[in-house]
Structure 1
Amino acid sequence: MTPPVTIPLRPGATPSGPGRDGRDVRWEAHRTKRRRQLVEAALKAIRKHGAGVGMDEIAASAGTSKTVLYRHLGDRAGLYRAVVTAVDERILEEFTAAEAVVGERDTVERIAAMVRAYLSMVEKDPEIYRFVMTRPLETTQGEDDHPDPVHQITDRIAGRLTQALREHLVATGREDAAVLAPVWGTGIVGLVQSAAEHWLSSRRTEDSPLTPDAVTDAVVSLIRPALTEGRR
Structure 2
Amino acid sequence: MKSETSRRDRRDSRWDEHRRARREQLVDATITAVGRHGAGVGMEEIATAAGTSKAVVYRHFADRSELHVAVCARVAANLTDRLREAMDTTTDPRQMLTAAVETYLAFLEADLELYRFVVQGPPVGHPADSDPIANLSHLVGDQAAALVAVVLEQAGRDPAAARPWGHGLVGLVRSAADWWLQADRPMPRVELAAHLTDLTWAGLSGVVTRKEDNA
Q: 1:50-69 residue pairs with structure 2 within 5 A?
A: 50-69=38-57
Which residue, out of 120, 125, 129, partners 1:134? 120
Kindly provide the CA deviation profile for residues 138-172 of structure 1, in whole angstroms up to 9, marking residues without a partner as x: 34542xxxx23223221111111111101211210
Kindly provide the CA deviation profile for residues 163-208 of structure 1, in whole angstroms up to 9, marking residues without a partner as x: 1101211210221xx33221211112211211111111222xx7xx
Q: Partner of 1:183 in structure 2? A: 164
From the superposition, tell whether residues 139 and 116 of structure 1 become closer, same or farther in structure 2 (CA, over 3 Å).
Answer: farther
Q: Partner of 2:191 in structure 1? A: 214
Q: Secondary structure at the match of 2:125?
A: helix
From the superposition, tell whether residues 112 and 138 of structure 1 become closer, same or farther in structure 2 (CA, over 3 Å).
Answer: farther
**Residue identity (%):** 37
From the superposition, tell whether residues 137 and 188 of structure 1 become closer, same or farther in structure 2 (CA, over 3 Å).
Answer: farther
Partners of 1:154 and 1:189 within 8 A in 2: yes
Kindly provide the CA deviation profile for residues 113-159 of structure 1, in whole angstroms up to 9, marking residues without a partner as x: 111111101111100000111022334542xxxx2322322111111
In structure 2, runs of 5+ residues without a counterpart are 1-5
Kindly provide the CA deviation profile for residues 196-225 of structure 1, in whole angstroms up to 9, marking residues without a partner as x: 11111222xx7xx32222111111111112
Q: Secondary structure at the match of 1:137?
A: coil
Separation in structure 1 between the aligned mates of residue 174 and residue 114 of structure 2, nearest angstrom: 14
How many residues get paired? 203
- Do residues 170 (structure 1) and 149 (structure 2) align? no
Which residue, out of 77, 97, 102, partners 1:116? 102
Q: 1:1-232 residue pairs with structure 2 within 5 A?
A: 21-101=9-89, 103-104=90-91, 106-135=92-121, 136-142=123-129, 147-175=130-158, 178-203=159-184, 209-229=186-206, 230=209
Question: Which shifted more, 115-124 or 193-202?
Answer: 193-202
RMSD (Å) for aligned C-alpha atoms: 1.8
Structure of greater Rg:
2
Task: Compare the two structures and name the one with the higher helix fraction.
Answer: 2
